[in-house]
Amino acid sequence: MDLCGLTIHQLRELLTQKAVSAAEVTSAYLQRIQSIDSKLHSYLEVFAKEALKQARDFDEGKRDFNLSPIAGIPIAVKDVLCMRGVRTTCGSRILENYVPPYDGTVIEALRNAGAVFVGKTNLDEFAMGSSTENSAYCQTRNPWDLDRVPGGSSGGSAAAVAANLCAGAIGTDTGGSIRQPASFCGVVGLKPTYGRVSRFGLVAFASSLDQIGPITKDVKDAALLLQILAGYDRRDSTSVQSPVPPYGERLEESIKGLRLGIPREYFVEGMDPEVAEAVEKSIRICGELGAEIIEVSLPHTEYGVAAYYIIAPAEASSNLARYDGVKYGLRTPDCRDLLTMYRTSRSRGFGPEVKRRIMLGTYVLSAGYYDAYYRKASQVRTLIRKDFLEAFQRCDALLTPVSPIPAFKVGEKSEDPLQMYLSDAFTLPASLAGVPGISVPCGFTSQGLPIGLQILGPHFREDLILRIAHQFQQATPECRRTPPLNEDP
């Protein structure tokens, strides 16, 4: 039996029946990581000894997890979430030796549910990127084509799930960093509503945009993980006291009668024709499942990229000011004065993309430019949010592409930041509006590269988009494939 190829819910059933042990499952994953991850570099650190101990504790009944759906299941975590006693680098040299003394709320919830932590996954430095090429430690590769990127910034998490190097993973999404890599790697990625999942213990990039969510092999697993992650947390001032529904209960309900909107602004000139064809086919399938398909408009979509790349760098400039070599993080030795220490520590600690965004953010917040840039971008953000609210008065959910292109080659866009930023044009507006979105596999290009369908819903309606995604996935089993990766002998 190929244990690594099973979903979380399939593994949980085997564990419940005692057909396998958690130690056997964890050992299988650790062996596969050892055999394959040298090709992918999806992990920054693997917790082999600790993971096996957690698995054995579960098998020996040392803790009662009340039949948690992820107890004894190997889960990977993006290395931007604080985990007690474990290095948390954010893919940056400036935090290469930082060891948090506490668990973030999400880690706490997973630990209490009995998850087996197999490792920390690679990412673009401080989650700033769309390709996982900006990590200070290694370049993660796409398991479908090792010459291509896995997307970003949660590229390590998406690649690990796609290559069966964990049963599920946790990522973060600021402007598409869960949905885009999920699309590029052919897995499911869910960005919850802003405020649905606590950000306490998440190292901040852009505080008004960052969200934590699951990356999984199928939609049912995404619902299982979200059930554990979601909920109010008084330690996060942006956490919302909204009831958390049972996400898995309504997955099997038909989508017949739902009104699904197609935003005309998301089907633009220049989109890869194979991506357009796959998404249009997916829309027809949803219609065949009984949904009513209507056209809607999100008129301010074209301003999403510009608004995001003012707001997010401005918040990053503020958040990353704390890394100055004084209290923690990299400190350059033998500096003659405080200013030199600041300058050299930050210059050596941050990579080129992070420096670019810090400078951009500092500029738009500076005296004389705040009103012209940051205030204007915030006003555009309000208009984008209004577009979504008006669209959801006409329809229940929206269907769009995740990205205008499939996974691109390593190095193809790294010298052209604007082209890199434009690859997120279809995910950024939902992040600015704070609405939930999910990427679900919907086809492949002629070169065998995955394509994702994005489903967007009203605020706090993750249950609705999960239901639509699950019904679509059940109707398209051909879209669920495993990359042709062979283990080393």
Q: What is the CATH number of the domain that holds 78?
A: 3.90.1300.10
Determine which one of 42, 130, 131, 153 is catalytic. Answer: 153
Domains: count for the chain: 1
Residue 420 lies in a domain: yes
Which amino acid does the sequence have at 254? S
Whole-number Å distance between alpha carbons of 374 and 167:
41
Q: Which residue is associated with the tokens 């494939």?
A: 481
Strands 116-121 and 74-78: parallel
Whole-number Å distance between alpha carbons of 92 and 98:
10
* 489 residues of the chain, pLDDT tens digit each: 899 999 999 999 999 999 999 999 999 999 999 999 999 999 999 999 999 999 999 999 877 766 689 999 999 999 999 999 999 999 999 999 999 999 999 999 999 999 999 999 999 999 999 999 999 999 999 999 999 999 999 999 999 999 999 999 999 999 999 999 999 999 999 999 999 999 999 999 999 999 999 999 999 999 999 999 999 999 999 999 999 999 999 999 999 999 999 999 999 888 999 999 999 999 999 999 999 999 999 999 999 999 999 999 999 999 999 998 888 888 888 788 888 888 999 999 999 999 999 999 999 999 889 999 999 999 999 999 999 999 999 999 999 999 999 999 999 998 888 889 888 999 999 999 999 999 999 999 999 999 999 999 999 999 999 999 999 999 999 999 999 886 654
Residue 314 lies in a domain: no
Residue 423 lies in a domain: yes
Determine which one of 68, 78, 154, 413 is catalytic. Answer: 78
Residue 268 lies in a domain: no
256 is catalytic: no
**Burial of 97: CB neighbours in 10 Å, binned 0-12, 13-18, 19+:** exposed
Q: Which two tokens stand for residue 362?
A: 């500092």
Residue 424 lies in a domain: yes
Whole-number Å distance between alpha carbons of 155 and 129:
10
Determine which one of 154, 157, 177, 423 is catalytic. Answer: 177
242 is catalytic: no
Residue 374 lies in a domain: no
Residue 125 lies in a domain: yes
Residue 365 lies in a domain: no
Q: Which domain holds residue 32?
A: 3-260+394-479
177 is catalytic: yes
